């Protein structure tokens, strides 16, 4: 008996089920994203569209939001890849309801609704809070370095930028010299060089204009002189108003005394004007001016410091962007951001314990957090060796070391790494966030919050699937 195989007939006709609810399993992530978007408040998206019924109708913002959330949850942030998936991927076709928005439409939707898309993080966190996942007994704060969409070689100082501008100007002059020779390049044509030539050209233009007017006469509006007079009157009024305002300000400055009796001058109400240095200091990246040189896991990079706050359920409670490589100074701002997000989600509990690594040691901010009734556990030095900094012994430095040496303190602090490091691993390695796609701190913040929102959405989906 010969070999037998399952037949592979590519000419066999195949009909998809007429009901799209039969295309995917009932517990598929696509259905969960659609249901989650239905529970979100998307008024800010709809407010940006016309309500008079004119112009070409756009795609439904709810569908576009669901498409973005599902794409980022699957690690597909490219607008062209999303457009291609709406043709090839069944789940994308179900979410888009068989529509195929092109990549330009998707990119414009993200650019036009940047703040609203960043707000999706709060909407997803609200859904997590309703399921009891936004608990705040013990929280952890940490940051991870993500490369920017910029070249590290484009960090230039003032002299380098000026040198490049001068070299570009010299190259432009050389190209124009080759093109125009001794001429300036904006000379008039030869027929306009003489008075007779200019008059002849004007006569011909006048004849053509009279012929066009005679062929299609247009009556002069009767109220044109009246409208000209009204426009002149308004212009004169605006001019005199500005002149009177300037005169009043100069008299006020000359008097030198404010209404309350305070004098105007150095050391009083009006500070000395800022005088910039002749040569600006520092360096700036010409590709993404907001990005900075930060130290990542594999060395220095041009990027951002992506900050996050997580709880023991690996739910991200706050996500912000900083362009400073060090975490010093981000402790209290990230706690405030987490508290703001929790209040918006309907969770008004205060965390009991705040965990962070040695980079977040900030004595003043730690004291402020403790005064809010939150215990702070931050080692004053790294786990490798004890710090040799001056005045780094005694006082609350030794007190924190003694607290971390206890069973309770050490046990709580050992939760920090398992609470937040797996979150960064999921986002960066499992879902491919090796580099931000957008440029500018605002756009990068929107991208980071969208990615972290989809992380919470995946956690919520797994929780709902396990409960079912």
pLDDT tens by residue, 400-453: 888 999 999 999 999 999 999 999 999 998 888 889 999 999 999 999 999 999
Distance of CA 404 to CAs 68, 378, 390, 413, Å?
43, 8, 21, 7
Quote the pTM value: 0.74
- What does the buried/exposed string (b/e) look like for 120-134 if buried means 16 or more CB atoms within 10 Å of the residue's CB? bbbbbbbbbbeeebb
Q: Kindly report, residue by residue over 327-343, the tens digit of the pLDDT.
A: 888 999 999 999 999 99
Quick one: pLDDT at residue 184?
A: 77
pLDDT at 276: 67
pLDDT of residue 175: 86
Q: Is the pLDDT of residue 50 over 80?
A: no
Average pLDDT, the chain: 84
- Res 270: pLDDT: 47
Separation between Cα atoms, residue 407 and residue 400, nearest integer Å: 13
Q: What is the pLDDT of residue 257?
A: 57
Q: Give the whole-angstrom CA distance, residue 301 versus residue 291.
A: 10
| pLDDT single digits (tens) 25-37 | 888 999 999 999 9
What are the φ/ψ torsions at residue 322 (nearest 5 degrees)? -130, 145
Domain ranges of the chain: 20-112, 120-151+288-467
Residue-wise burial string across 332-358, b where 16 or more C-beta atoms lie within 10 A, e elsewhere: bebbebbbebbeebebeeebebbbbbe
Q: What is the pLDDT of residues 275-298, one digit of tens each?
A: 766 666 678 888 888 888 888 877
**Which pLDDT band, with edges at 50, 70 and 90, does 269 fall under?**
very low
Rounded to 10 degrees, the C-alpha dihedral 278/282/287/290 comes to -110
pLDDT of 274 over the 70 cut: no
Q: Is the pLDDT of residue 10 over 80?
A: no
Instruction: Evaluate if residue 311 carries a pLDDT over 90.
Output: yes
pLDDT in tens, 345-368: 988 889 999 999 988 998 899 999
CA distance 40 to 83: 24
| Interior angle at CA 173, CA 170 and CA 175, nearest 5 | 110
CA gap 62, 109 in Å, rounded = 12
């Amino acid at each position: 008996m010969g070999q037998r195989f399952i037949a592979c007939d590519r000419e066999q006709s195949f009909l998809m089920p007429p009901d799209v609810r039969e295309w995917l399993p009932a517990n598929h992530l696509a259905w969960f994203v659609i249901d989650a978007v239905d529970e979100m408040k998307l008024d800010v998206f709809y407010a940006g569209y016309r309500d008079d019924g004119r112009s070409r109708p756009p795609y439904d913002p709810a569908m576009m939001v669901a498409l973005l959330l599902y794409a980022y949850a699957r690690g597909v942030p490219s607008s062209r890849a999303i457009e291609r998936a709406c043709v090839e991927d069944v789940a994308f076709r179900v979410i888009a309801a068989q529509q195929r928005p092109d990549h330009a439409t998707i990119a414009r939707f993200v650019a036009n609704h940047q703040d609203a898309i960043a707000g999706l993080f709060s909407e997803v966190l609200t859904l997590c809070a309703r399921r009891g996942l936004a608990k705040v007994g013990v929280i952890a704060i940490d940051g991870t370095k993500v490369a920017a969409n910029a070249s590290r070689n484009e960090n230039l100082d003032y002299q380098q930028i000026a040198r490049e501008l001068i070299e570009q100007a010299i190259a432009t002059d050389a190209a124009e010299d080759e093109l125009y020779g001794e001429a300036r390049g904006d000379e008039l044509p030869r027929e306009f060089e003489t008075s007779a030539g200019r008059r002849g050209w004007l006569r011909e233009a006048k004849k053509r204009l009279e012929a066009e007017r005679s062929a299609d006469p247009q009556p002069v509006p009767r109220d044109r002189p009246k409208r000209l007079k009204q426009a002149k009157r308004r212009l004169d009024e605006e001019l005199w108003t500005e002149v009177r305002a300037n005169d009043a300000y100069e008299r006020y400055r000359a008097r030198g005394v404010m209404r309350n009796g305070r004098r105007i001058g150095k050391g009083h109400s009006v500070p000395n004007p800022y005088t910039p240095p002749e040569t600006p200091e520092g360096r700036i990246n010409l590709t993404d001016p907001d990005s900075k040189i930060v130290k990542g896991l594999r060395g220095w990079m041009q990027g951002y410091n992506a900050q996050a706050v997580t709880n023991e359920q690996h739910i991200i409670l706050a996500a912000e962007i900083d362009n400073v490589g060090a975490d010093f100074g981000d402790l209290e701002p990230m706690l405030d951001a987490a508290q703001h997000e929790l209040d918006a989600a309907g969770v008004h509990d205060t965390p009991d314990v705040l965990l962070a690594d040695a980079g977040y040691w900030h004595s003043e901010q730690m004291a402020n957090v403790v005064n809010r009734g939150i215990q702070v556990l931050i080692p004053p030095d790294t786990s490798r060796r004890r710090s040799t900094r001056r005045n780094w012994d005694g006082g609350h430095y030794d007190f924190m070391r003694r607290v971390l040496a206890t069973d309770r303190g050490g046990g709580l602090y050992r939760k920090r790494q398992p609470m937040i490091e797996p979150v960064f691993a999921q986002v960066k390695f499992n879902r491919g966030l090796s580099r931000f796609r957008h440029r500018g701190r605002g756009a990068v913040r929107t991208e980071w919050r969208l990615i972290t929102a989809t992380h919470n959405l995946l956690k919520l989906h797994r929780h709902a699937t396990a409960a079912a």
